[in-house]
Structure 1
Amino acid sequence: MGRVVVVGSANMDVTTRVDRLPRPGETVAGSTVALLPGGKGANQAVAARRLGADTIMIGAVGADGFGAALRDFLHAEAVDVSGLAVFDMATGTAVMMVDSEGENVIVVVAGANAAVSADGLDRLGLRADDVVLLQNEIPTRVNADVLTRARAVGARTILNTAPSRPAPPELLGAVDLLLVNEHELADLVPAAAGLCTRTSAEAISTVRGLLADGAGPTENIVVTLGAAGVCARVDGTVVTLAARDVPVVDTTGAGDCFCGALGAGLALGLPTATALFHANLAASLAVQRFGAGPAMPTRAELDDLLAGRAGP
């Protein structure tokens, strides 16, 4: 079995609960505020580790209280943090509001994440059976460097293009599997614009048609569509997974959970279609909890769901 190697961000999430998200220029009252470990890279690492994969985190935090708390959290989750560098700067921070429906708005301040380097892979000794997870909360040049090193040893790579930003075509073309949501897909495929305004059935139908026609910058692409489910093109075959109907508490980190769970499944030797199915179920568990990193499900919880022993 391989390892999950996450090269990415680690943030402290400053999260406030509100009845509804404010309009521009409006002030609304919040009910609670919490400091919770997060960052797309760290969230994915926790998800992968809780689901049973040996997991290594390559990233950076600041020499401050937030950085120490993030290192302690990841270490307590049994994530290998030997590649999590400490710099004399502020730790990355995400400020977010979550409404009563579980929807959120997020502002990310990169901090030490801007100093992440691929050099940690040299000390790690990347292997052909490893699965490398990347996101867009670290510099594009670092993602490109990691992809080059991963391809050199034959490691499998997954790029989650969140948050969305322009990327060189050659970078996207070097990824084994691209993971996007409906907004990120629209940035890559203009014909996908407006998916969030359509019914679930319409959104799935549109994405299935686009993927069947070969749309997208890579051969293998997974599109997460929230309550509409998941649509993917893998090895030339288009597959669709329905979303579970569950009570949503907080969607923060749901995509990270999906990505980490997918990476864990592949590292543990599951076929891609099975790993996608498990990732879809894992994300449905994460959205029923508050926060990001701490909300990731465990292997036992996923197994109970697979065996029909769990509720929603």
Structure 2
Amino acid sequence: MTVTPTVHDLVAIGRVGVDLYPLQHNVTLDEVHTFEKFLGGSAANVTVAAARHGRHAAIVSATAADAFGRFVHRELLQLGVDDAYVQTITDGPPTPVTFCEFFPPDHFPRWFYRYPTAPDLLITPESLPLQAIRDARVYWSNLTGLSQEPSRAAHVAAREERGRAPLTVLDLDYLSVFWRDRDHSAGAARDEARTQALEALRHATVAVGNLEECELVTGESDPRQAARALLTAGVDLAVVTLGSRGVLAMTPDEVVGVDAFPVTVVNALGAGDAFGGALIHGLLAGWDLERTLHFATVAGALVARRRACSTAMPTTAEVQALLSDVEVADGAI
């Protein structure tokens, strides 16, 4: 009997780990008494967010053969994400942890314990599930995976296998700490990240990033100019998130702006990943761009008012309920 390979709605490649978040706000880490642990990592969060909307999501990544690695696998499965492509590396660095501080509404410093590297940066071209990447309805990668070898080579092999298929997404997820080392100044690290991003954009059809990340890649600080530059770099859809100012999206044929949804922020760190998972859901559903952006913006807002990231990702029903409340309040229905 021939077994038909599973075609995923989403295959994402990138970071997984453990978030250790404080249970006290407005104090520095040295004053925190208690923490709670959650599944973490941007790629993991995006897959969880998509799974909450009923999407069949898988992640390509790696952990160590340690307790936190077992936790990552267990949480992925419990949160509805296929962990079949998450390798266990037995002779490498430990599964990474991330600490943060909560100073709402807009200050959430993070410390990444991923030195000198992390298992998810040790994936190789030979270890990739190439058919799953090629066949996925959405393929999501981010800039961090291009910061080190052998992960960079794996990402290049994945995009060569994928080609420029529809809904090939590059998340311009730039964190300087992942690019700087003893051989890179801050300027050299930014230049290297920009070079890698521009090459990856040639193979992507969708780019997503906040304004600072888009400026890093394009040199443009104006959202419209940055979006236009991303289109010129090769994508068909550029999405520029603007925090409290909302989001701007541009295709060759339209420009759509959506205001931010007002929310009392508890932790803003997972909002972008919730936005990404909801964006995927809207694009796969064939919604128009404005509806998709409204949905994704509300999904991000829901997570921003919660403590966690991965386990805080909203369901479709939660997002729709909040959207309906807003429509009623505005007299739209």
Question: TM class, shorter-chain normalised?
Answer: 0.7 to 0.9
Q: Which of residues 166, 190, 194 is equivalent to 2:194?
A: 166
Question: Distance in 2 between the 1:106 and 1:311 partners?
Answer: 38
Give the structure with the larger helix fraction.
Answer: 2
Equivalent position amino acid for 2:155 in 1 = N
Identify the residue that residue 203 of structure 1 maps to in structure 2: none
Q: Which secondary structure state, in structure 2, belongs to the residue aligned with residue 12 of structure 1?
A: strand
Query: Could you tell me the TM-score, scaled by structure 2's length?
Result: 0.79
Alpha-carbon shift at residue 209 of structure 1 (Å): 4.9
Equivalent residues in 2 for 1:1-312 (5 A)?
A: 3-16=9-22, 19-20=25-26, 29-30=31-32, 32-88=34-90, 89=92, 90-101=94-105, 103-108=107-112, 109=114, 110-117=117-124, 119-122=127-130, 124=132, 126-127=134-135, 130-138=137-145, 139-151=151-163, 154-164=165-175, 165-168=193-196, 169-192=198-221, 206-211=222-227, 217-219=233-235, 220-308=237-325
Considering Cα pairs closer than 8 Å and 6+ residues apart, tell me whether 1 or 2 has the greater RCO.
Answer: 1
* CA 1:291–1:175: 2 relative to 1, 3 Å: same
Equivalent position amino acid for 1:248 in 2 = V
- Unmatched 5+ residue regions in structure 2? 1-6, 146-150, 176-192
Quote the RMSD (CA, aligned, Å).
2.8
- Per-residue displacement from partner, 1:135-155 (whole Å, max 9, x unpaired)? 233233333222222227x35
Equivalent position amino acid for 1:172 in 2 = L
Q: Is the 8 A contact 1:46 1:260 kept in 2?
A: yes
Question: Distance in 1 between the 2:54 and 2:79 partners?
Answer: 11
Equivalent position amino acid for 1:207 in 2 = P
Identify the residue that residue 182 of structure 2 maps to in structure 1: none
- Unmatched 5+ residue regions in structure 1? 193-205
Aligned length: 293
Percent of aligned positions that are identical: 23
Q: Which secondary structure state, in structure 2, belongs to the residue aligned with residue 246 of structure 1?
A: coil
Equivalent position amino acid for 2:324 in 1 = A
Give the structure with the larger strand fraction.
Answer: 1
Question: Distance in 2 between the 1:125 and 1:255 partners?
Answer: 23
Equivalent position amino acid for 1:251 in 2 = A
Q: Is the 8 A contact 1:14 1:94 kept in 2?
A: yes
Alpha-carbon shift at residue 12 of structure 1 (Å): 0.5
Q: Is the 8 A contact 1:178 1:218 kept in 2?
A: no
Alpha-carbon shift at residue 17 of structure 1 (Å): 5.4
- Per-residue displacement from partner, 1:8-40 (whole Å, max 9, x unpaired)? 111101223565476xxxx86235422211101
Query: Could you tell me the TM-score, scaled by structure 1's length?
Result: 0.83
Q: Is the 8 A contact 2:20 2:100 kept in 1?
A: yes
